[in-house]
Structure 1
């Protein structure tokens, strides 16, 4: 893109009467990325990517719109594909699309990786690719998506409170559009990144998922060794064409003699680099099967920083003083609350002082079923556009559907600030169960533990609220938190499923 089009943030103005462009934050072969604020949604940050091509032809605009729509639909299906929100063409004919703004590191800045991190990130990359290759439904037809430009620069790794590191694949669907515009304007019809291109891509052939698998093989080789499988004398097209078509890849052991990896992994990477697509793994599921077995044998995938934002309470954990539990069991369902399946926080007076508790009403059988569940909690605080806290508690039993208990607290409400302050004062909070069936009595009391880092975080939030300006958009913040909640549910379940199962006896 011509840099003079956006000389400074102050001169950028609004894009599509919605996105206030702020500053250039990245550039590459596909275009340039700007940080922007979505004015329609209260100024939340987004990333706007302008593509290199100028699109004035009506057919090309339609093709770009189709690719952008497919990319957006795909991003709703997989946690590991960057979320796309909007697209368009500006007055200069530059196509753009709007993505979630993520703070993380490019995979190219992290390699080479230790084996445990390699396995964790490779597995997530494969999950994103698998979702794309399976396709999305467009007008009743399943349309598989091939990325066409898998490389470390298109993989973003962001800190995640649940998984430790979360992979996001960038530029899905856009490579095909760029390939189309290149084909329309050049004789060669090639658009990609030479070191990672499959032989069939260099030949301009029709591509399927096995082309991405070849690129993935090149990237996995580099993730482990810091080097590519070939080192041609030049970076010109002809040199890379020769390497991909006629030269065998170097052996991992020759590139990094001190690196010890399982033979199964070495064989997997080399099979991905086969010249003929029929000799590679035929789908991502086959690669995932190998990676999963290696991850299981290497070590359990437990994020090192999980305790900083969430905690597990095992079925036999109590943590509540017996006097508190006895007080809870004497409680009556509040007369101002409806008789239905609901959950809400409320202060509780106990012999130990005030305590924040979760009150919930469920059918009697459900209460019994979840009596031996694992409890998990997480908190997310949003200061803008309106201060809002999401407090999630999960009852997890592998034999049952997970029971999610989300609470949204408007932190401008002094009563909710008080609830959070008392929540931070105690190591455990009670979950008080009332039966949906009459007489709606309390039949069980469980507890969920809040570890010290979480408690300090809650204290800081309760204090921070006093320095925030008044706001009046609670529904907007709640809507944004609901989006985050939906995204994090699969991550939480993925983490819990990796935990060793607790064996209970004597019940």
Structure 2
């Protein structure tokens, strides 16, 4: 078996290619490691060398630009992080690396339950709504249509904060809907999911995507296609989409009991005339909302019961008086005399007779500490190996009403404190946040625990080990400056994720 010559290649002095994971007409996709971010896994897509001409390079750059902007606007669209041209003048762009199942694999064994169907479709519609509303291209608002909505272009991820997160892939064949564009009427798409107007080669709007969504929704609920062609030729599918009425749900499965409003919504999306369909993804979302309230109720009730049961007091058995808990030890601490009374953040190790605790000390105004008693906690760690081994330890506290409070902190991995702190967090999988009020600085006002994701725990330990043998090539401040620049780029993405979570109770997320 021939080894891919690109394996191990360092692209743009940043992305180390690991292995080929896919290829198509537009090019090849590699799994890679972003070395600036401590080896975070990404996907790198190269333009096919057979397409290396100015027109295709411009299209590729536009594809990357569109995806980057859309990915920033919606968590339900795959995100593009970077793009450029390699030393051979082959264009590439860097995307988030996603591990999950395509919707086609999810629905292959069986049709979906109504509650899961509603959750997935709602997230797809949120992504489409964002694209259809448009992006600014050279100062002009341009709606974006996908043109190839189908199950294999929908990825379903198991996300520790969302549960099931849905993302739309391959906006690369999207066309800018500009009146002066001469290329908007070319045929692109997958025959079984194409709207009648798309097969005619007409100029398309967002309602074409909604037709494709209707085909997919029928398939998700029944496991069958609503319209079938006599053959797989273009002509046969053209005839089917134009003249064959979609199957009814009852004809496919008489035992399938669906709300009439849901059946009507799917059939409206499948209307031959665009004017007879829902006119926007927002309209579909409005139709789904009461169904989600109705069919999500049982799940919500179960969650509330589980929460109540977890709060019931256990039967107490007399025990010898135990040593103070870790949180109790933290609450007994005092603000260090060598630290100013100001809004600062710094790391500290608390050593007890039983253990060593990794802690992050924070001083804020009293009212902010109180307002953030109900908050979503987020943490992520960025690593820079050169010019000086340094970790940027990011903690964010988010409350929907008052927004985020960023608590960045640096760990110099050439110092004993940085080494021990990184190893300890990697081993324990958590750290504690100690809050002190500016108005009453002498005692700890609150303690929170933030957990660290397993992948980040392993990276912390690996970084600590690697840094022992590294030689610093510059002052630590240079690495801090580079990491801060990367943090500034990440802030909008982190905030988008936090704002998508309903913060009505204390929750904890690790990046």
TM-score range, shorter chain: 0.7 to 0.9
- Structural mapping, 1:73-112, within 5 Å: 73-87=69-83, 96-112=92-108
- Greater mean alpha carbon deviation, residues 39-48 or residues 111-120: 39-48
CA distance in 2, matches of 1:14, 1:464: 20
- Greater mean alpha carbon deviation, residues 68-77 or residues 86-95: 86-95
1:209-239 deviations in Å (ceiling 9; x for gaps): 1111111111222223232211212111111
CA distance in 2, matches of 1:360, 1:27: 48
Give 1:73 deviation, angstroms. Answer: 2.0
Going from structure 1 to structure 2, the CA distance change for 1:166 and 1:387 (only over 3 Å counts) comes to farther
Cα pair 2:37 2:384 within 8 Å, conserved: no
**Unaligned segments of structure 2, at least 5 residues:** 177-181, 303-309, 312-321, 473-477
Give 1:442 deviation, angstroms. Answer: 3.1
Q: Does 1:368 align with 2:370?
A: yes
Corresponding residue SS for 1:441 = coil
Give 1:395 deviation, angstroms. Answer: 5.7
CA distance in 1, matches of 2:18, 2:421: 38
CA distance in 2, matches of 1:461, 1:64: 33
Cα pair 1:347 1:356 within 8 Å, conserved: yes
Q: How many correspondences in the alignment?
A: 471
Give 1:241 deviation, angstroms. Answer: 0.8
- The residue that corresponds to 2:315 in the other structure is none
Corresponding residue SS for 1:26 = strand
1:367-399 deviations in Å (ceiling 9; x for gaps): 3333xx235445556788678574636364x54
Give 1:129 deviation, angstroms. Answer: 1.2
Corresponding residue SS for 1:361 = strand
- The residue that corresponds to 1:164 in the other structure is 163
Q: Does 1:199 align with 2:196?
A: yes
CA distance in 2, matches of 1:354, 1:344: 17
- The residue that corresponds to 1:236 in the other structure is 233
TM-score (norm 1): 0.75
- The residue that corresponds to 2:496 in the other structure is 490
1:272-324 deviations in Å (ceiling 9; x for gaps): 1111111111111122223333333323788x9xxxxxxxx99xxxxx98787
Cα pair 2:44 2:95 within 8 Å, conserved: yes
Going from structure 1 to structure 2, the CA distance change for 1:240 and 1:413 (only over 3 Å counts) comes to farther
- Structural mapping, 1:291-302, within 5 Å: 291-299=288-296
CA distance in 2, matches of 1:464, 1:83: 27
Give 1:189 deviation, angstroms. Answer: 3.1
Going from structure 1 to structure 2, the CA distance change for 1:435 and 1:224 (only over 3 Å counts) comes to same
Corresponding residue SS for 2:361 = strand
CA distance in 2, matches of 1:434, 1:162: 28
CA distance in 2, matches of 1:9, 1:124: 39
- The residue that corresponds to 1:220 in the other structure is 217
- Structural mapping, 1:79-158, within 5 Å: 79-87=75-83, 96-112=92-108, 113-115=111-113, 116-158=115-157
Q: Does 1:263 align with 2:260?
A: yes
**CA RMSD after TM alignment:** 4.6
Cα pair 2:377 2:397 within 8 Å, conserved: yes
**Unaligned segments of structure 1, at least 5 residues:** 1-5, 178-182, 305-312, 315-319, 503-507
Q: Does 1:446 align with 2:447?
A: yes
Corresponding residue SS for 2:175 = helix
Going from structure 1 to structure 2, the CA distance change for 1:493 and 1:87 (only over 3 Å counts) comes to closer
- The residue that corresponds to 1:288 in the other structure is 285
TM-score (norm 2): 0.74
- The residue that corresponds to 2:21 in the other structure is 25
- Structural mapping, 1:393-404, within 5 Å: 394=397, 396=399, 399-404=401-406
CA distance in 1, matches of 2:453, 2:26: 44
